Structure 1
Amino acid sequence: MKIIIRTVILLFIMNLALLYMHYSQLADAKGDSEEVLQYVQEIEVINRKDSLIVRQHFRKLDSRRHEIILPTEGKEFTCFMDTDSSCSRINDNVTAFLEGDEDRQSISYEIPKSDSMVNRKLFKEPFAALKNAVPVSTMLHVTDETGIGGMWVSGLEFVGSKKMNMVDYSLFKGEGQVTDLYWQHTELPIAYKGSNLSILGQPVDEESAAQLNNDLMALNADHLIIAIDPKGKQLQTDRFIITNQKLSAIANTVVEKGVQSQFVLSTAEDLVANLITSILIDSPAGKESARRAFGELKENLTVDQYEALRNLVSAQRGAPMDAVKLDGLIGEVSGFKTSFVQQNSIRKYPFHFEDNRPAVINGELQEDVQIVVKDGRTLYPAKQVLTANGYTVSSNERSIYIESEAEKFRFSLRDSFYVLNEKKYTLRDFPFELIGDDYYFEEDALRRLFHLSIQKHEDKISITSLVEGESK
Structure 2
Amino acid sequence: MTKRIIRFSLFLAFVIGCILFIQWKGYHSVEDAAVLNIEQTFTIRHTQDEFVIKQSIENLPEGKYHIHYPPKAKDIDCQLGEDHVCKWEDGKNSQLKVKEGPLTFTYKLKAPMKVNSFLLEDWGITIKEAPSASTRIQLTEQNWRNGSWATGADLAGKEKMEGLDYYVFKAEGLIPPLFWQEQALVPMEMNQHLTIYSEGKPSLKRSIFEKLVPDEKIFVIMSNNISELTETDKLIFVPGGKKNVEKQLASLLLAKKLSFTDEKEWMLDLLVSSLTHTPAHSNKVEKMRETIFTVLTKEQADRWLENILSTDSKTITSQLLDELLEDTAGIKTDFFQKNADMSKPFQPFYFLDKRKIYINGKKADKINILLQNDRTYISFVPLIEMLGFHVLDSSKPKELMIGKNGDKYHFIFSKKLFFKNGQQFGFQRNPFSIDHNEVYFDTAALKGLFDLEVEENSQEINIH
TM-score, length-normalised on structure 1?
Answer: 0.51
Q: Give the match's secondary structure for 2:176.
A: strand
1:217 is the counterpart of 2:217? no
**Residues in 2 aligned to 1:435 and 1:157: alpha-carbon distance in whole angstroms:** 56
Q: Give the match's secondary structure for 1:210.
A: coil
In the alignment, what sits opposite 1:265? 259
Deviation, 1:210, is: 3.4
Deviation, 1:311, is: 6.7
1:141 is the counterpart of 2:137? yes
Please tell me whether the aligned partners of residues 372 and 380 of structure 1 are also in contact (alpha carbons under 8 angstroms).
Answer: yes
Deviation, 1:284, is: 5.2
Deviation, 1:244, is: 6.7
In the alignment, what sits opposite 2:414? 412
Deviation, 1:420, is: 1.9
**Aligned with residue 188 of structure 2, among 185, 188, 194:** 194
1:322 is the counterpart of 2:316? yes
Deviation, 1:217, is: 2.3
**Residues in 2 aligned to 1:193 and 1:227: alpha-carbon distance in whole angstroms:** 10
- Judged with a 3 Å threshold, the aligned counterparts in structure 2 of structure 1 residues 401 and 270 are, in CA distance, closer, same or farther, namely same
Deviation, 1:332, is: 2.5
In the alignment, what sits opposite 1:11? none
- Summarize the alignment of residues 79-158 of structure 1 with structure 2, pairs less than 5 Å apart: 121=121, 128=132, 140-141=136-137, 153-154=151-152, 156=154
**Residues in 2 aligned to 1:451 and 1:238: alpha-carbon distance in whole angstroms:** 70
Deviation, 1:143, is: 5.3
In the alignment, what sits opposite 1:300? 295
Task: Report how many residues are paired.
Answer: 348
Structure 1: gaps of 5 or more residues:
1-39, 58-72, 82-105, 111-116, 130-137, 467-472
The C-alpha deviation readout for 1:253-285, integer Å capped at 9, x for no partner, is: 312344466x54337545555666677x68457
* CA RMSD of superposed structures (Å): 6.0
The C-alpha deviation readout for 1:47-91, integer Å capped at 9, x for no partner, is: 899x9958589xxxxxxxxxxxxxxx9989xxx99xxxxxxxxxx
Please tell me whether the aligned partners of residues 139 and 171 of structure 1 are also in contact (alpha carbons under 8 angstroms).
Answer: no
- Judged with a 3 Å threshold, the aligned counterparts in structure 2 of structure 1 residues 245 and 193 are, in CA distance, closer, same or farther, namely closer
The C-alpha deviation readout for 1:90-127, integer Å capped at 9, x for no partner, is: xxxxxxxxxxxxxxxx99899xxxxxx99874799996
Counterpart amino acid of residue 390 in structure 2: G
**Residues in 2 aligned to 1:212 and 1:318: alpha-carbon distance in whole angstroms:** 26
Deviation, 1:346, is: 3.3
- Judged with a 3 Å threshold, the aligned counterparts in structure 2 of structure 1 residues 449 and 41 are, in CA distance, closer, same or farther, namely farther
In the alignment, what sits opposite 2:230? 235
**Residues in 2 aligned to 1:277 and 1:361: alpha-carbon distance in whole angstroms:** 45
Counterpart amino acid of residue 417 in structure 2: Y
Counterpart amino acid of residue 335 in structure 1: G
1:378 is the counterpart of 2:376? yes
The C-alpha deviation readout for 1:124-173, integer Å capped at 9, x for no partner, is: 999648xxxxxxxx98526599x9x99764165696599999x9975446
Deviation, 1:225, is: 0.7
Please tell me whether the aligned partners of residues 387 and 393 of structure 1 are also in contact (alpha carbons under 8 angstroms).
Answer: no
Deviation, 1:411, is: 3.9
Higher-Rg member (1/2): 2
1:351 is the counterpart of 2:354? no
**Residues in 2 aligned to 1:286 and 1:179: alpha-carbon distance in whole angstroms:** 36
Please tell me whether the aligned partners of residues 151 and 219 of structure 2 are also in contact (alpha carbons under 8 angstroms).
Answer: no
Q: Give the match's secondary structure for 1:445.
A: helix
Structure 2: gaps of 5 or more residues:
1-36, 45-49, 60-65, 70-79, 82-100, 106-111, 113-117
- Judged with a 3 Å threshold, the aligned counterparts in structure 2 of structure 1 residues 211 and 187 are, in CA distance, closer, same or farther, namely closer
TM-score, length-normalised on structure 2?
Answer: 0.51
Please tell me whether the aligned partners of residues 359 and 365 of structure 1 are also in contact (alpha carbons under 8 angstroms).
Answer: yes
Which stretch has the larger CA shift, 149-158 or 340-349?
Answer: 149-158
In the alignment, what sits opposite 1:13? none
- Judged with a 3 Å threshold, the aligned counterparts in structure 2 of structure 1 residues 445 and 154 are, in CA distance, closer, same or farther, namely same
Deviation, 1:216, is: 0.8
**Residues in 1 aligned to 2:300 and 2:136: alpha-carbon distance in whole angstroms:** 43
Deviation, 1:356, is: 3.2
- Summarize the alignment of residues 197-208 of structure 1 with structure 2, pairs less than 5 Å apart: 198=196
Please tell me whether the aligned partners of residues 270 and 285 of structure 2 are also in contact (alpha carbons under 8 angstroms).
Answer: yes
**Residues in 2 aligned to 1:283 and 1:308: alpha-carbon distance in whole angstroms:** 15
Deviation, 1:242, is: 3.4
Which stretch has the larger CA shift, 290-299 or 227-236?
Answer: 227-236
**Residues in 2 aligned to 1:402 and 1:217: alpha-carbon distance in whole angstroms:** 54
- Judged with a 3 Å threshold, the aligned counterparts in structure 2 of structure 1 residues 434 and 241 are, in CA distance, closer, same or farther, namely farther
The C-alpha deviation readout for 1:360-416, integer Å capped at 9, x for no partner, is: 99989766x6432222222234466568852344667xxx32212411122436xxx
Counterpart amino acid of residue 236 in structure 1: E
- Judged with a 3 Å threshold, the aligned counterparts in structure 2 of structure 1 residues 448 and 45 are, in CA distance, closer, same or farther, namely farther
Identity, % of aligned pairs? 16
- Judged with a 3 Å threshold, the aligned counterparts in structure 2 of structure 1 residues 308 and 152 are, in CA distance, closer, same or farther, namely closer
**Residues in 1 aligned to 2:120 and 2:280: alpha-carbon distance in whole angstroms:** 30
- Judged with a 3 Å threshold, the aligned counterparts in structure 2 of structure 1 residues 236 and 307 are, in CA distance, closer, same or farther, namely closer
- Summarize the alignment of residues 418-429 of structure 1 with structure 2, pairs less than 5 Å apart: 418-421=417-420, 423-429=423-429
Please tell me whether the aligned partners of residues 401 and 410 of structure 2 are also in contact (alpha carbons under 8 angstroms).
Answer: yes
In the alignment, what sits opposite 1:31? none
**Residues in 1 aligned to 2:299 and 2:239: alpha-carbon distance in whole angstroms:** 43
